[in-house]
Amino acid sequence: MLTRDTLTRQAFDAIVEHILDRQLKPGDVLPSTSELTEQFGISRPLVREALSALQACGFVEIRSGRIPVVGKLDGRLIEMFMARAARMQDRPMSALMEVRIPLEIQAAKLAAERSSDEEIRRIGDTNARMASALGDSKLYPELDTEFHSDIALASANHILNWMVVSVRAELMTVMVAVREYREANGLVGQEQEQHDSILETIRDHDPEAAGSAMKTHLHSSLVLVREVEDLARPRDVIVPPRLGSLEGLHEAG
């Protein structure tokens, strides 16, 4: 027997399928609640519940007059999933980096192959701002994430771009932790040299060199991330012998 929740979920899935099958774009008008009720053969309250759930997910917008339209692309759901999935890992920052590395290597390759002059200027401007902010512990990590987002956008692959951008919020935690580690160990500056190399290969429109430069950069970052996590892991506590047992050993000696 179908429950109310099951019927609402079926309506939810059916509306999503309607959007995808018809290749509707953001802003396109969906059938009215009455039309959806007739189409799916369920009650208006269930259709409204499905539309409310879709609105919460960003699939649908309910405009004035209760007219449902296709929502703009929004990476919130991916961000929420990535955040939850990463924090379920024993080493969340390393897990995030292991996912990020192949995505960003591909993004760098595609950016070198496809980027426009304007996109290259944007990446270059961000890199120049990073160089100027190298001594700023707060601003540099923010610009660092922007630099990588610029490259993903220049890949001209919307799916890849959304995947890279979706980890941006969680990535800030990694960036800040690695920055603190670099400062504590006199390593600030190496990352900027690597960013310069990535930019140069993209400007040269050399996909293989861009992928290689990005791989070098992210693998060196992964090494630092693992060291940061090693330092943060609780050490085994050595419990001293009880006083009575010490006394017994002394007497035995």
For domain 4-70, the CATH class is mainly alpha
Residues 102-134: pLDDT tens digits? 999 999 999 999 999 999 999 999 999 999 999
Q: What is the mean pLDDT of residues 153-172?
A: 87
Query: For residue 75, what are the CA distances in angstroms to 54, 80, 160?
Result: 14, 9, 12
In this predicted structure, what is the pLDDT of residue 234? 61
7 or 229, greater pLDDT: 229
Q: What is the mean pLDDT of residues 3-29?
A: 86
d(CA 178, CA 235): 21
Residues 182-198: pLDDT tens digits? 999 999 999 999 999 99
Q: What is the mean pLDDT of residues 88-95?
A: 84
Query: For residue 202, what are the CA distances in angstroms to 121, 146, 147, 242?
Result: 11, 16, 12, 64
77-232 CATH fold: Four Helix Bundle (Hemerythrin (Met), subunit A) (1.20.120)
d(CA 133, CA 139): 7
d(CA 215, CA 84): 26
Domain ranges across the chain: 4-70, 77-232
d(CA 194, CA 183): 17
Percentage, residues of the chain above pLDDT 90? 51
Residues 30-72: pLDDT tens digits? 998 888 888 888 888 989 999 999 988 888 998 876 789 998 8
Average pLDDT of the chain, as a whole number: 86
In this predicted structure, what is the pLDDT of residue 84? 78
pTM, 2 dp: 0.75
